[in-house]
């Protein structure tokens, strides 16, 4: 069996043999790019190169890039545990051409890697192209010998790629792997038709041609370029013959460590398995975020980290974990991935201490908050209500430190949702009140001062999807 580590190495070696410079992954926090919360694709570190603003001294590059997709345009938080193919943190294998080769070579390289180096069964592979991209369509026929019925034309949602609201973008062509009927969702199952795990998207070849300067304003890049991305965990699942990304070697060690601590067995119980997958996933993102210098806080990137920790703890409850455990499973991430990512080992002790402190602090209020939420859900069920008020959801956040996604996870199981707009409105109201109180009394409440600071200097478009509150009692 080929391990994920071996696949990563083979990928980089293959593209090095095709004249690509092997470049190290950049951190999860993008350097000098305020438009992006986290690195969400391999191209992020090369954004300026695509735009023609940086000349790195090579025109072909290959990477295995650390990615995080929580918040922003690409947000997979709610998908984790629900699908077999989405993580918050994952590795994206990529090859890049900066105005050098274009569509033909990109398709040739990808096909050669998948069918010759990795040895995938050709009869299981399909391709998609952008609606009017006859050129890519023709190339798939010519290079891979795919017949017309194995090439699908899809629109903006699937086959036009952009990193965010602005930045380099272009039409793309994707390679799908058919895992067979057993994994399908039944009648109507098909490429572009459903969202199940049967036709697994493994590799996206982006034909970078434009720069989106602002909404509605797109200009051509200096030179057409190539940006590709293939999820390491997905290709490993295919190569290792498992149906879920979570069953690959890289993940199993982490998941079984959580199962051992909890005294449960992976594969015995659906609810437990989801919890174990979420814990496995979040252990990775938490370890990598801390290694890249993000600290838990109540705003922006730090709040994403805090939410991941708290969400993991809540899923831990579902498998009976009430003592701190995440610092241990995040430690296993260091064992498993520390060789490929030395920053993990370097920050190990610090990371474990910070996670453990967060766990200890939140566990005090987690039980209370869960009990109050359960009580409210019982009352609502009896009364036939289906939407949690914004005020209630906000109170849980403000008093017990419950991020909205925990409320949604718990309530969703009982067919109840939270009024998210109301939640944000309640938060905004409290913020306004805090501000008024501060101006009125002339005192410098440190929490309010922090709030003001945030509003003036540190404003970014991300302070807003889940803002800080001045009076958060759990932080």
Which residues in this chain contact ligand ATP in the complex, by CB under 6 A? 69, 74, 76, 85-87, 90, 92, 161, 201-204, 229-231, 233-234
**Size of the chain in residues:** 475
Q: SS3 breakdown of the chain: % helix, strand, coil, rounded to 5?
A: 50, 15, 35
Residues forming contacts to Mg ion in the complex (CB under 5 A) are 201, 204
Report, in Å, the least distance between residue 94 CB and ligand ATP: 8
Please state whether beta strands 21-22 and 60-68 pair in parallel, antiparallel, or not at all (unpaired). Answer: parallel
Closer residue to ligand ATP (CB): 8 or 87: 87
- Taking CB atoms, the residue at the shortest distance from ligand ATP is 231
CA–CA dist 103, 107 (Å, integer): 6
Partner whose footprint covers residue 229, from Mg ion, ligand ATP, none (CB < 5 to 8 Å by kind): ligand ATP
Choose from Mg ion, ligand ATP, none: what does 27 bind? Cβ within 5-8 Å by kind. Answer: none
Min. distance of Cβ 203 from Mg ion in angstroms? Answer: 9
By beta-carbon proximity to Mg ion, the closer residue of 36 and 354 is 36
Residue 233 contact among Mg ion, ligand ATP, none, beta carbon within 5 to 8 Å by kind: ligand ATP
In the complex, the smallest distance separating the C-beta of residue 364 from ligand ATP, rounded to whole angstroms, is 32
∠ CA(249), CA(175), CA(16), 5° rounding? 70
Could you tell me which residues are beta bridge partners of residue 63? 94
Which residues 6+ apart lie within 8 Å of 105 measured at CB? Answer: 97, 226
CA distance linking residue 141 with residue 150, whole number of Å: 9
Q: Which is nearer to ligand ATP, 171 or 229 (CB)?
A: 229
- 69's contact among ligand ATP, Mg ion, none, with CB below 5 to 8 A by partner kind, is ligand ATP
Angle (nearest 5°) at CA 415 between 414 and 419: 115
223 binds, among ligand ATP, Mg ion, none (CB under 5 to 8 A by kind): none
- Output the smallest distance, CB 244 to ligand ATP, in A: 11
- The nearest distance, CB 406 to ligand ATP, in angstroms, is 20
C-beta of 202: minimal distance to ligand ATP in Å?
Answer: 5
Based on CB atoms, which residue is closest to ligand ATP, 44 or 454?
A: 44
Position closest to Mg ion via CB:
204
What is the pairing mode between strands 60-68 and 125-130? unpaired
459: helix, coil or strand? coil
To Mg ion, the closest distance from the beta carbon of 159 in angstroms equals 8
The residue (of 175 and 404) whose beta carbon lies closer to ligand ATP is 175
Q: Checking DSSP bridges between strand 60-68 and strand 417-418, what pairing results, if any?
A: unpaired
CB of 79 to ligand ATP, least distance (A): 7
Quick one: 204 or 347, whose CB is closer to Mg ion? 204
Three-class DSSP category at 216? coil
Which pair of structure tokens corresponds to residue 450? 């922090």
**Between 144 and 200, whose beta carbon lies closer to Mg ion?**
200
Exposed, middle or buried by CB within 10 Å (0-12, 13-18, 19+), for 208?
buried
The interface partner of residue 86, options being ligand ATP, Mg ion, none and the CB cut-off 5 to 8 Å by kind, is ligand ATP
Indicate the residue among 152 and 161 with the shorter CB distance to ligand ATP.
Answer: 161
Q: What is the Cα–Cα distance from 397 to 375, expressed in whole angstroms?
A: 16
CB-CB contact of 451 with 468 (8 Å): yes
Question: Considering beta carbons, is residue 49 or 191 the nearer one to Mg ion?
Answer: 191
Question: Could you give the CA distance from residue 108 to residue 1 in angstroms, rounded to a whole number?
Answer: 26
Beta carbon of residue 15, minimum distance to ligand ATP (angstroms, whole number): 16
Residue 424 interacts, among ligand ATP, Mg ion, none and using kind-specific CB cut-offs from 5 to 8 Å, with none
Residue 15's binding partner out of ligand ATP, Mg ion, none, with CB under 5 to 8 Å set by partner kind: none
The answer to whether residues 202 and 125 touch, using CB atoms and an 8 Å cutoff, is: no
The Cα 282–Cα 313 span in angstroms is: 10
């Amino acid at each position: 069996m080929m391990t994920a580590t071996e696949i990563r190495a083979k990928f980089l070696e293959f593209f090095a043999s095709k004249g690509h410079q092997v470049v190290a992954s950049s951190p999860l926090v993008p350097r000098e790019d305020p438009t992006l919360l986290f690195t969400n694709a391999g191209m992020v570190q090369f954004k300026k190169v695509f735009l023609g603003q940086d000349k790195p001294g090579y025109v072909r590059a290959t990477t295995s890039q650390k990615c995080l997709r929580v918040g922003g345009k690409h947000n997979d938080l709610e998908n984790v545990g629900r699908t077999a193919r989405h993580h918050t943190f994952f590795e994206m294998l990529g090859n890049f051409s900066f105005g050098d080769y274009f569509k033909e070579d990109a398709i040739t390289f990808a096909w050669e890697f998948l069918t010759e180096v990795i040895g995938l069964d050709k009869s299981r592979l399909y391709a998609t192209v952008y609606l009017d991209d006859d050129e890519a369509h023709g190339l798939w026929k010519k290079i891979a010998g795919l017949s017309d019925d194995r090439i699908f034309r899809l629109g903006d949602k699937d086959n036009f790629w952009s990193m965010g609201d602005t930045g380099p973008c272009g039409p793309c062509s994707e390679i799908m792997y058919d895992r067979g009927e057993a994994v399908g969702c039944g009648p109507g199952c098909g490429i572009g038709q459903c969202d199940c795990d049967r036709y697994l998207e493994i590799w996206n070849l982006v034909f970078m041609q434009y720069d989106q300067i602002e909404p509605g304003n797109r200009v051509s890049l200096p030179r057409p370029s190539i940006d590709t991305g293939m999820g390491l965990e997905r290709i490993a699942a295919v190569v290792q013959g498992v149906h879920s990304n979570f069953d690959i070697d890289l993940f199993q060690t982490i998941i079984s460590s959580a199962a051992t601590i909890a005294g449960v067995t992976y594969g015995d119980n659906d609810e437990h398995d989801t919890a174990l997958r979420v814990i496995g996933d979040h252990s990775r993102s938490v370890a990598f975020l801390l290694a890249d210098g993000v600290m838990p806080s109540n705003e922006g990137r730090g709040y994403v980290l805090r939410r991941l920790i708290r969400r993991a703890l809540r899923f831990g409850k579902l498998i009976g974990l009430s003592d701190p455990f995440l610092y241990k499973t995040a430690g296993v991430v260091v064992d498993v991935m520390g060789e490929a990512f030395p920053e993990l080992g370097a920050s190990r002790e610090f990371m474990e201490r910070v996670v453990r402190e967060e766990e200890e602090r939140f566990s005090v209020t987690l039980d209370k908050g869960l009990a109050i939420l359960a009580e409210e859900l019982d009352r609502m069920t009896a009364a036939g209500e289906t939407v949690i008020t914004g005020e209630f959801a906000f109170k849980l956040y403000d008093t017990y430190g419950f991020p909205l996604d925990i409320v949604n996870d718990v309530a969703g199981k009982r067919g109840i949702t939270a009024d998210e707009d109301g939640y944000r409105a309640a938060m905004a109201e409290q913020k306004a009140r805090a501000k008024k109180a501060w101006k009125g009394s002339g005192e410098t409440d440190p929490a309010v001062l922090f709030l003001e600071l945030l509003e003036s200097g540190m404003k970014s478009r991300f302070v807003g999807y889940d803002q800080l509150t001045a009076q958060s009692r759990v932080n």
